[in-house]
């Protein structure tokens, strides 16, 4: 796969996921996609891909959001700030911004964790190690990371018999979607980079494009992505309404 094909595949995987032709990403504007899975949740999820914004949302919000889109100048991609300005901050329970990165296979650097840490693939037999790592982190960190030994593939770094960093991935939207979690007492040692790098190597061997996503405020995750030469492709936003 050359770089041009890689970049085209990233876009096509997402537009296919949204049921749209790939050319849609090159057209400035908004596509509203009511999702039954969000019914009653008052959720709006924005995916700013290319020039276009794809918006997944609670079907109950559709009429009001459609009215907002039509009130904007023609072909304006809808942003979270448009919703906040039009409906007021008091209408919003929470709002976050995420970044989505993709790795061109040959850009992956060779990297192993420093001694005395060891790296190996995880299986369901490592569930107790994973539970201990989760317990060492905040519930918020565990939820954002979403690392599970039951996922399609997982790797861990150990310090003796202690699992100090883990990453897992599963196929989503045509990519291997990755998550990583590191013990608070073992951060800034390159361990997150090691386990994510192992997942990326597995993805390359299995003809999958590695996808890495994180909250824009999570600078630690950003450093992991940059250290492995991931390329940032687009931003996403999430809004929960009261």
Task: Give the model confidence (pLDDT) of 17-62 as tens digits.
Answer: 999 999 999 999 999 999 999 999 999 999 999 999 999 999 999 9
Confidence at residue 146, expressed as pLDDT on a 0 to 100 scale: 97
- List the pLDDT tens digit at each of the 242 positions of the chain: 899 999 999 999 999 999 999 999 999 999 999 999 999 999 999 999 999 999 999 999 999 999 999 999 999 999 999 999 999 999 999 999 999 999 999 999 999 999 999 999 999 999 999 999 999 999 999 999 999 999 999 999 999 999 999 999 999 999 999 999 999 999 999 999 999 999 999 999 999 999 999 999 999 899 999 999 999 999 999 999 99
Per-residue H/E/C for 135-164: HHCCHHHHHHHCCCCCCCEEEEEEECCEEE
| Range 102-233: architecture per CATH | 3-Layer(aba) Sandwich (3.40)
In the chain, residues under CATH classification 3.40.630.30 are 102-233
Angle between helix 80-87 and helix 62-71 axes, rounded to 10 deg: 100
């Amino acid at each position: 796969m050359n770089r041009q094909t890689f970049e085209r595949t990233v876009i096509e995987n997402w537009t296919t996921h949204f049921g749209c032709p790939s050319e849609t990403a090159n057209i400035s504007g908004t596509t509203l996609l009511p999702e039954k899975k969000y019914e009653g949740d008052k959720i709006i999820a924005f995916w700013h891909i290319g020039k276009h914004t794809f918006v997944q949302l609670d079907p109950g919000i559709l009429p009001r959001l459609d009215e907002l889109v039509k009130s904007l100048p023609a072909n304006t991609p809808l942003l979270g700030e448009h919703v906040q300005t039009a409906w007021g901050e008091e209408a919003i329970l929470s709002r976050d911004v995420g970044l989505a990165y993709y790795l061109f296979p040959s850009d992956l650097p060779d990297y192993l964790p420093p001694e005395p840490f060891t790296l190996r693939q995880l299986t369901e037999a490592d569930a107790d190690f994973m539970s201990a790592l989760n317990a060492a982190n905040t519930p918020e960190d565990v939820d954002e990371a979403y690392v599970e030994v039951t996922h399609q593939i997982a790797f861990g770094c150990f310090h003796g018999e202690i699992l100090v960093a883990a990453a897992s991935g599963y196929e989503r939207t045509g990519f291997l979607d990755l998550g990583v979690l590191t013990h608070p007492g073992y951060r800034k040692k390159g361990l997150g980079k090691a386990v994510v790098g192992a997942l990326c190597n597995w993805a390359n061997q299995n003809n999958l494009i590695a996808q890495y996503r994180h909250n824009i405020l999570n600078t630690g995750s950003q450093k992991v992505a940059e250290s492995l030469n991931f390329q940032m492709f687009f931003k996403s936003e999430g809004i929960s309404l009261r």
